[in-house]
């Protein structure tokens, strides 16, 4: 047999079909992809950078979701779990992030068809095609993906027939600066700037008690922290809170009575009441350009009404939303929207410059495809910088994707998605990059 015969596309395709699907991220969407692949009889491996599944959620596990259990459990995952005797918690109850992990993700990850295929403590640093950079086209579709990972033991590589990148965005917050760049001076005050959704009333209480904290951001991540800080201020003397936004109002924190998620609407009403009473000081139209260190904390220099103004605070919470890590995908042929960095066909449905709807049209593999065959962004990462992601959306994404990978084009194309109405939908809002309708990784829509 000649070398040419050994490398024909047919031979390559057979080799490709023996490889697993690689799933990046063992959060709700990554594990839902795994469950769907189990039902399809397709092999897979899940790569999780944390030491346990749901590692990002655990960081804000103290926060209560405003989506109830009936909206945060994937249908395929539920079928696998119920076959073992698992029962869905009270459908209309609102779990915390920790409860979501403990009562759903951990049992799902422990199922025999899934647990042996999860690799924790593995960071995927880059994805490409085996022996091909992004410029090479010939036989690209028949060539395995190559992933480079980093573990405690060093650098390793894996091959895969397809990639589902559900690594989320929580570890990559948006900048405090309106320009998209980190404000000048950030490195000098980094120890006084906190990630979104700190555990104000628990683990991080000593950090915030008796201090003035400024929360930056106009979405529900900011709102949850504001509510917690206001509660702390009632308990700890000297605690105060300021809310800083760059637009004239934080309309994305809806107070509409039409919201299909009552807890989501309640967040806005509570924050509005605290602002009206003076317990939360609101500074609007403030665009941060520089940070500086003071004897007691941080000085924010910002542009407001075409003037430079200063605001002094002890601590800053960055709740300005999140963005995807695309550096790891430089050798993958992506087709991303040039505004929100979401797949180009999905972007018009979620661009915050166009609307703020927390509900979107049903979409699946067709809207998530890239020029790179069998590579998909799923979950919050598929939304790029757009802020309106819900878990149910991601579950339908991976159901459609896995059907496509299984060769079931009919099921992949029959996309159905029923989401609760957002209660607010504007077509004239400027994009502020802030988290909206979602908290942290965006997938969970939290309330306090």
**pLDDT in the model for residue 266:** 81
Judged against a pLDDT cut of 60, whether residue 9 lies above it is answered with: no
The CATH number of the domain holding residue 154 is: 3.50.50.60
Burial class (CB in 10 A: 0-12, 13-18, 19+), 335: exposed
Whether residues 59 and 141 fall in one domain: yes
Query: Are 124 and 190 contained in the same domain?
Result: no
Single residue among 285, 318, 351 that ends a domain in this structure: 318
pLDDT at 287 over 70: yes
Instruction: Supply the pLDDT for residue 388.
Output: 77
Looking at residue 356, its pLDDT comes to: 53
Residue 327 pLDDT grade (very low, low, confident, very high; cuts 50, 70, 90) = very high
Query: Is residue 181 assigned to a domain?
Result: no
What percent of the chain has a predicted confidence (pLDDT) above 90?
A: 77
Are 22 and 165 contained in the same domain?
yes
Q: Please indicate, yes or no, whether residues 38 and 81 belong to a single structural domain of this protein.
A: yes
Q: Are residues 209 and 312 in the same domain?
A: yes
Domain boundary, last residue among 318, 339, 368: 318
Q: What's CA 310's distance to the chain center, in Å?
A: 32
Q: How does residue 420 score in pLDDT terms, banded at 50, 70 and 90?
A: low
> How many domains does the chain contain in total?
2
How long is the chain?
448
Instruction: Report whether pLDDT(361) > 90.
Output: no
The confidence score (pLDDT) of residue 256 equals: 52
β-pairing, 162-165 with 375-377?
A: parallel
The tokens describing 235, both together, are 């308990």
List the domain range (segments joined by +) for residue 245: 186-318
- The answer to whether residues 368 and 424 belong to one domain is yes
33 shares its domain with 112: yes
What is the overall mean pLDDT for the chain? 89
- 302 and 246, same domain (yes or no): yes
Residues 330, 308, single domain; the answer is no
Q: How confident is the model at residue 306 (pLDDT cuts 50, 70, 90)?
A: confident
Residues 223 and 266 in one domain: yes
d(CA 43, CA 21) in angstroms, rounded, equals: 6
Quote the tokens at residue 156: 């390793």
Mark whether 336 and 313 lie in a shared domain. no
Which of 290, 318, 346 corresponds to the end of one domain? Answer: 318
Is there a domain that residue 179 lies in? no
Residue 3 belongs to some domain of the structure: no
Residue 220 confidence (pLDDT): 85
Question: Which of 8-22, 162-176, 249-263, 284-298 has the least mean pLDDT?
Answer: 249-263
The residue written with tokens 């002890």 in the block is 314
Residues 285 and 331 in one domain: no
Q: Please report, to the nearest 10 degrees, the dihedral formed by the alpha carbons of residues 274, 280, 285, 288 taken in order.
A: -150
pTM: 0.89
**378 with 165: CB under 8 angstroms?**
yes
């Amino acid at each position: 047999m000649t070398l040419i015969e050994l490398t024909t596309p047919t031979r390559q395709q057979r080799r490709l079909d023996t490889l697993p699907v690689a799933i990046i991220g063992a959060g709700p969407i990554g594990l839902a992809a795994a469950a769907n692949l189990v039902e399809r009889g397709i092999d897979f491996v899940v790569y999780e950078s944390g030491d346990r599944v749901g590692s990002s959620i655990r960081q804000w596990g103290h926060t209560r979701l405003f989506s109830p259990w009936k909206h945060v459990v994937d249908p395929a995952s539920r079928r696998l779990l119920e076959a073992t005797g698992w029962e869905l918690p009270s459908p209309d109850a609102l779990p915390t992030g920790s409860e979501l992990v403990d009562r759903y993700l951990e049992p799902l990850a422990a199922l025999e068809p899934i647990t042996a295929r999860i690799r924790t403590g593995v960071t995927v640093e880059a994805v490409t095609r085996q022996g091909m950079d992004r410029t090479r086209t010939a036989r690209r579709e028949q060539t395995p993906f190559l992933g480079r990972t980093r573990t405690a033991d060093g650098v390793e590589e894996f091959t895969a027939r397809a990639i589902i990148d559900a690594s989320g965005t929580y570890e990559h917050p948006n900048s405090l600066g309106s320009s998209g760049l980190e404000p000048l001076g950030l490195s000098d005050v980094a120890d006084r700037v906190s990630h979104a959704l700190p555990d104000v009333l628990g683990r991080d209480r000593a950090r915030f008690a008796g201090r003035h904290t400024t929360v930056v951001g106009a979405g529900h991540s900011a709102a949850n922290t504001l509510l917690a800080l206001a509660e702390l201020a009632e308990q700890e003397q000297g605690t105060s809170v300021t809310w800083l936004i760059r637009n004239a109002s934080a309309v994305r924190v809806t107070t509409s009575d039409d919201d299909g998620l009552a807890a989501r609407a309640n967040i806005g009403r509570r924050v509005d009441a605290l602002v009206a009473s003076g317990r939360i000081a609101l500074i609007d139209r403030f665009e941060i350009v520089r940070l500086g260190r003071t004897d007691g904390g941080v000085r924010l220099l910002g542009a407001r009404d075409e003037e430079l103004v200063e605001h002094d605070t002890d601590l800053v919470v960055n709740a300005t939303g999140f963005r995807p890590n695309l550096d790891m995908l430089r050798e993958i042929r992506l087709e991303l929207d040039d505004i929100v960095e979401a797949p180009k066909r999905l972007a018009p449905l979620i661009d915050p410059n166009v609307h703020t709807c927390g509900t979107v049209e049903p979409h699946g593999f067709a809207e998530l495809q890239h020029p790179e065959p069998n590579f998909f962004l799923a979950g919050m990462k598929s939304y790029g910088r757009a802020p309106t992601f819900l878990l149910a959306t991601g579950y339908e994404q991976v159901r459609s994707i896995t059907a496509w990978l299984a060769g079931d084009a009919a099921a992949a194309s029959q996309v159905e998605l029923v989401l609760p109405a957002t209660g607010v939908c504007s077509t004239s809002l400027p994009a502020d990059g802030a988290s909206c309708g979602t908290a942290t990784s965006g997938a969970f829509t939290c309330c306090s």
